[in-house]
């Protein structure tokens, strides 16, 4: 077994164990989907190591939606996403598991809900398109954010969580899901 220190896991772990950030956005909260979405992650065997409800400030939202979003989709889209994320409470959580970043992205589905496959969170609970959101000049309501790459997870986690808010523990179900 390979052991190492990693800013994503913040502990010595096997290199395939990762931590990833998930945000349930204001639309997921307003629609009462918190429990259903969290249950999906628990059922697949991911461990919740950090969980809280917060109402993001614009500064925190800008720390999350960094300049790379403006470069990819334009500064106006970034502004709309910051406005959307700071419009109400969100649930922030850190999940841990085997190759968690890729697994969570697969479960969440395509960023554009209309393109998300059935069976994914966005595919089952959302259908909005980028075109529609752009025509209404609003950030896209796609329910959830999940770190896109292993390298993004650590910095994203640090936007939302302090080290003392992340917990290392071993629930019994991990005997069967994180061998």
Q: How confident is the model at residue 173 (pLDDT cuts 50, 70, 90)?
A: confident
pLDDT tens per residue across span 66-119: 888 889 888 998 999 999 999 999 999 999 999 999 999 999 999 999 999 999
Catalytic residues: 145
Question: In the chain, what are the domain boundaries?
Answer: 20-168
Q: How confident is the model at residue 174 (pLDDT cuts 50, 70, 90)?
A: confident
Look at residue 165 and tell me whether its pLDDT is greater than 90.
Answer: yes
Look at residue 3 and tell me whether its pLDDT is greater than 90.
Answer: no
Cα–Cα distances (Å) from 10 to 42, 155, 158, in that order, read 21, 12, 11
Q: What's the CATH architecture for 20-168?
A: 2-Layer Sandwich (3.30)
Listed in sequence order, the residues at least 6 apart from 149 whose beta carbon sits closer than 8 Å to its beta carbon are 101
């Amino acid at each position: 077994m390979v052991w190492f220190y990693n800013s994503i896991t913040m502990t010595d772990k096997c290199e395939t164990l990762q931590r990833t950030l998930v945000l349930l956005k204001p639309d997921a909260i307003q629609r009462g989907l918190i429990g259903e979405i969290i249950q999906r992650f628990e059922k697949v065997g991911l461990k919740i190591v950090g969980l809280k409800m917060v109402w993001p400030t614009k500064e925190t939202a800008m720390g999350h939606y960094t300049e790379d979003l403006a470069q990819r989709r334009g500064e106006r889209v970034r502004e709309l996403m910051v406005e959307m994320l700071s419009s109400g409470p969100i649930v922030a959580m850190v999940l841990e598991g085997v190759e968690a970043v890729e697994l969570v992205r697969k479960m969440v589905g395509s960023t554009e809900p209309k393109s998300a496959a059935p069976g994914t969170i966005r595919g089952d609970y959302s259908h909005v398109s980028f075109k529609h959101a752009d025509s209404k000049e609003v950030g896209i309501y796609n329910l959830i954010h999940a770190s896109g790459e292993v390298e993004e997870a650590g910095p994203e986690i640090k936007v939302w969580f302090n080290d003392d808010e992340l917990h290392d523990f071993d629930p019994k179900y991990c005997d069967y899901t994180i061998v």
